[in-house]
Amino acid sequence: MPEKLERPDHISISQVNKYQICGLQYYFSYIEKIPYQINDNMLRGRAVDNAANGHFDTKAQNEIGVSQNDFVDLAVSTHDEEADDTEFKESTVDESRDKTANASKTYHNSHGQALTPGRSSDGSSWTQVKVEEDVGDGLVLLGFVDLITDKNTIVDTKVRKADKVVDVEANLQLQTYANLIGSDQVGMASVTTAREPKATFYSGRATKKTKERAIQRIKSVSAAIDSNIFLPAPEGSWVCSEKYCSYWNICDFGAKRK
């Protein structure tokens, strides 16, 4: 690796998360700028998330949002538009589309009805709120908050294969955004893509301690990047496999190790 590396001029939660999962994935993606092909799980997440954004944008205006059919159509359209650029590892295209449609229905009937977006003083809705702020030491964090509710709760939409308990008070993204926005409540609107999708809302607090811990983690990752430290994922990790890593064939700890 070169002695002096050119890194992005800002840091984001997705960058930090990727670095923590595998430093070499971060290196290939953000330093070498080698495109990372998304898989079908990621695609379904993007599709439902996009539909949720459209729904809450509309709900901020008419207090109702879009219909269930329109919600599903928006999610499926997003899915199909990006399908050609997706690596389908766990489902066929048709199976993935069906999972997206079913998860969308469940999300709309649950979180889509229960959550209400807030509005700023100028009337704009608190959906996909851009945050760009110096978090200290000249480190600029850039991100987008999925939703800030009328109760000033920071909410992230998450689409998952199975429902597992989420500790939102330790969630880097939610706690960081709560810090920057000035909220003390966070939540995750989760929906699964199982045969019978399940919607669960995980809620918690954002305290001074949890917020500061999140910012410190970001600074620690940034310092490691500045020091050219890019460790591979732990040996045996599911991340470090041909199935789940787009960089497997070019990585010294992937195909090249054999």
pLDDT reading at 69 higher than 90: yes
pLDDT reading at 161 higher than 50: yes
pLDDT at residue 244, rounded to an integer: 85
pLDDT at residue 1, rounded to an integer: 45
Instruction: Say if strands 185-192 and 153-160 run parallel, antiparallel, or are unpaired.
Output: parallel
CATH of the domain at 135: 3.90.320
Structural domain includes residue 8: no
pLDDT bucket at 236, cuts 50 / 70 / 90: confident
Structural domain includes residue 11: no
Structural domain includes residue 59: yes
pLDDT reading at 257 higher than 90: no
Structural domain includes residue 85: yes
Structural domain includes residue 238: no
Match 């399940």 to its residue by tokens.
Answer: 198
The total domain count for the chain is 1
- For a pLDDT cut of 70, what percent of the chain falls above it? 98
The residues with which 134 forms a beta bridge, in sequence order, are: 140
What would the two tokens of residue 144 be? Answer: 């987008």
pLDDT at residue 3, rounded to an integer: 56
Instruction: Return the top range by mean pLDDT from 2-16, 22-36, 114-128.
Output: 22-36
Structural domain includes residue 32: no
pLDDT reading at 4 higher than 70: no
Structural domain includes residue 166: yes
Structural domain includes residue 24: no
**Mean pLDDT within 38-42:** 93
SS3 225: helix
Range of the domain at 207: 38-215
